[in-house]
């Protein structure tokens, strides 16, 4: 766990960065750069102990953002694959470069990317290594612009001499906000809505707990180099999405409805965890235990949720 450091976090109104900022704030001087567009968001983070700065990292205007942070954790992104190409590139490729230029004095910079950048392998059980082929368009412009962002970050790291690590994030889960992708599945179970899964694919995941991501931050940042190093940031255990849904159903006392469909088609990615284990060790949260913890922390909130993710993030997780 990072302690007694000055840390800038972007994207903290989202699930992953929110859990990171929440964990780091009691032990560090945490600054949070975001738009804080939903009512109560900024007040919430100020109460947590985060120094909030309202701004848009893609604009290049970093008024109020300190330039002397020890570490930068850049998790903000435009995740909607249906957004136009220009908007996606501005947010996911140009923006990180501008942020790095402002934070060039940092000891290290962590850029959160996605395992979605990998080109689909014909073997459904293939374990994707960091040097495997990339070039996916599985989520519209999102995955392409995130890959472009990796290139921009690598180039800027060399230009600035800023030690950088790129974390390719898999499926993360936890109790902050709505719990990410697995939180959506849990909400479907609780609402007795069908869970749609692609027909003809294995759909096996390696989810990673927010608690493990937080635990990996310090060793990952210490491993940052010039040129930048790329690390898969996913879990150690495989679990079929259907089994995850059924686990939630058992905890809720409900029978989930799972529908396999050709209309909902996306590849599942099994990231190879070897490099991450060498740097930061194994995950400490057993998957089923973590999913149970997630259910216990989220089910009441999701049952009563109005469906606005940003609003939910203003409540204490």
Q: Given this model, what pLDDT does residue 91 score?
A: 95
Q: Given this model, what pLDDT does residue 140 score?
A: 87
Q: Given this model, what pLDDT does residue 185 score?
A: 94
Q: Given this model, what pLDDT does residue 127 score?
A: 94
Instruction: Report the distance separating Cα 232 and Cα 244, nearest Å.
Output: 22
**Structure pTM?**
0.93
Q: What residue segments make up the domains of the chain, in order of their start?
A: 6-178+205-237+272-284
Instruction: Report the distance separating Cα 202 and Cα 206, nearest Å.
Output: 12
CATH code for the structural domain at 6-178+205-237+272-284: 3.40.50.720
Q: Given this model, what pLDDT does residue 172 score?
A: 94
Q: Given this model, what pLDDT does residue 200 score?
A: 79
pLDDT tens for the chain, 317 residues long, are: 899 999 999 999 989 999 999 999 999 999 999 999 999 999 999 999 999 999 999 999 999 999 999 999 999 998 887 889 999 999 999 999 999 999 999 999 999 999 999 998 988 889 999 999 999 888 889 999 999 999 999 999 999 999 999 999 999 999 988 888 899 999 999 999 999 988 877 788 999 999 999 999 999 999 999 999 999 999 999 999 999 999 999 999 999 999 988 877 677 889 999 999 999 999 999 999 999 999 999 999 888 664 443 333 433 33
CB neighbours (10 Å) of residue 36? 22
Q: Given this model, what pLDDT does residue 42 score?
A: 96
Instruction: Report the distance separating Cα 92 and Cα 87, nearest Å.
Output: 8
């Amino acid at each position: 766990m990072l302690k007694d450091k000055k840390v800038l976090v972007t994207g903290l109104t989202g699930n992953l960065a929110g859990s990171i900022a929440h964990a780091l704030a009691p032990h560090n001087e945490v600054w949070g750069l975001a738009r804080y567009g939903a009512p109560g968001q900024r007040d919430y983070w100020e109460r947590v102990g985060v120094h909030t700065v309202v701004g848009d990292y893609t604009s290049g205007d970093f008024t109020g953002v300190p330039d002397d942070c020890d570490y930068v954790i850049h998790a903000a992104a435009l995740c909607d694959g249906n957004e136009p190409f220009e908007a996606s590139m501005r947010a996911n490729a140009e923006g990180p470069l501008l942020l790095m230029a402002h934070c060039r004095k940092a000891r290290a910079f962590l850029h959160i990317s996605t395992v979605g950048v990998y080109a689909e392998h014909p073997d459904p059980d293939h374990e994707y290594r960091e040097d495997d082929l990339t070039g996916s368009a599985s989520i519209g412009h999102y995955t392409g612009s995130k890959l472009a962002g990796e290139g921009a970050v690598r180039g800027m790291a060399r230009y600035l001499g800023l030690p950088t690590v790129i974390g390719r994030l898999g499926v993360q889960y936890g109790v902050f906000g709505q719990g990410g992708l697995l939180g959506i599945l849990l909400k479907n179970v609780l609402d007795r809505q069908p869970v749609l899964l692609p027909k003809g694919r294995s759909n096996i995941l390696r989810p990673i707990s927010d608690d493990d991501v937080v635990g990996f931050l310090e060793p990952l940042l210490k491993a940052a180099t010039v040129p930048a190093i790329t690390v898969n940031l996913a879990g150690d255990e495989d679990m079929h999405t259907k089994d995850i849904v059924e686990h939630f159903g058992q905890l809720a006392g409900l029978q989930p409805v799972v529908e396999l469909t050709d209309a909902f088609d996306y590849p599942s990615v099994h990231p190879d965890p070897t490099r991450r284990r060498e740097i930061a060790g194994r995950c400490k949260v057993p998957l089923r235990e973590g999913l149970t913890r997630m259910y216990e922390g989220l089910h009441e909130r999701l049952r009563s949720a109005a469906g606005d993710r940003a609003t939910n993030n203003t409540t204490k997780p």
